[in-house]
Amino acid sequence: MKKDLLSEKIRNLADSIGIDALGFAEASEFSDYALRSSKRRDPKLTLPNAKTIIVAGIYIGAVTLPNWVNPWYGRTSRLYLSEFFLDVVKPLEPIVDFLKNEGFQAIVCEGSKKEGSILPLKLAAIRAGLGWQGKHSLLISKKYGTFLALGGIITNADLEHNTKEESNRCRNCDKCQKACPLAALDQPYVLNVKKCMSYLLQNENLPKKIQIVMENRVADCEICQESCPWNRKHLDNPLVTKITESFQKKIGDWEQFFYLPDLVELSEKGYRKKLGQLNTDIPYKIFHRNILIAMERAKKVGEMI
């Protein structure tokens, strides 16, 4: 099958699945990848005869709870609730099956499994033409802002590769850098992970200064994304997509679940049952600690009103 026809069939399949953005890129080494010892730097370390990286994005701009503004409700992030906290995996299975049925090899990037993270997805998405890297270090898409959950496939199928990367449109904007309360973006385009609230909320050592600014966040943080001008329209009027319509049906249950006085009673077994499928890999005791801190803050806010 010719590469243009094969590429078109994959795009049509992706569209029918509910994948919102799709790009094909050459499966060559990422020479600027920081982790030089990682096999993610070169797709051919995973699949020696690799020819193409397929990068998929699913829009999660509407995966949000209205009650996050209420201090008595635990706050997370769109990515956390999307079930794509690590990588988009399950929606890519039909594409993998299609490629294998056509006689090709195809391997999915799956960060939840040991040795399963085989691609630097952000760099792959940029190479595939899905967007550019913002000063908050995240991928920005003209259409979807930063609200794309990413997934990737390495294959030996020869597809139509993108050859023109998006230009950087951040220019002189530094809103994300100024918005971060922990100065994790003191250098543009570089995230200081050890200062990042999302990272710290997942770790045992939670400095006092974090507890002061974390508000009702019990997992993850979107402060830099909410300040990004490319997300403004998505904050006010999220796009209507398959996942948007699916999540709308879950909002009531999720809001009830994250009501702090109830959430604090959640057992470890209940935590695994309710949140295990989100693949966040955040230990129960750390999640519970964050709930207790959020409750103390909610009480103080209540006293001030």
Q: What is the pLDDT of residue 112?
A: 85
Computed over every residue of the chain, the mean pLDDT equals 95
pLDDT, tens only, 1-10: 788 899 999 9
Does pLDDT of 206 surpass 60?
yes
Residue 303 — pLDDT band, cuts 50, 70, 90? Answer: low
Find residue 259's DSSP bridge partners: 73
SS3 annotation, 199-241: HHCCCCCCCHHHHHHCCCECCCCCHHHHHCHHHHHHHHCCCCC
Which residue reads 């996942």 in tokens?
243
Q: What is the pTM of this model?
A: 0.94
Q: How confident is the model at residue 288 (pLDDT cuts 50, 70, 90)?
A: very high
Cα torsion 103, 109, 110, 113: sign? positive
In angstroms, what CA-CA distances link 29 with 40, 46, 93, 156, 164?
A: 9, 11, 24, 15, 17
CA–chain centroid gap for 303, Å, is 36
pLDDT band (50, 70, 90) for residue 114: confident
Residue whose C-alpha is closest to residue 227's, from 298, 125, 134, 294: 134
| Single-letter amino acid code for the residue at 216 | N
Average pLDDT for 114-127: 94
Nearest to 76 by CA among 245, 181, 193, 217: 217
Q: How far apart, in Å, do the first and last CA atoms of the chain sit?
A: 67
Over residues 157-200, the pLDDT tens digits come to 999 999 999 999 999 999 999 999 999 999 999 999 999 999 99
- Percent of the chain residues past pLDDT 90, beyond the cut: 90
Choose between 228 and 35: higher pLDDT. 228
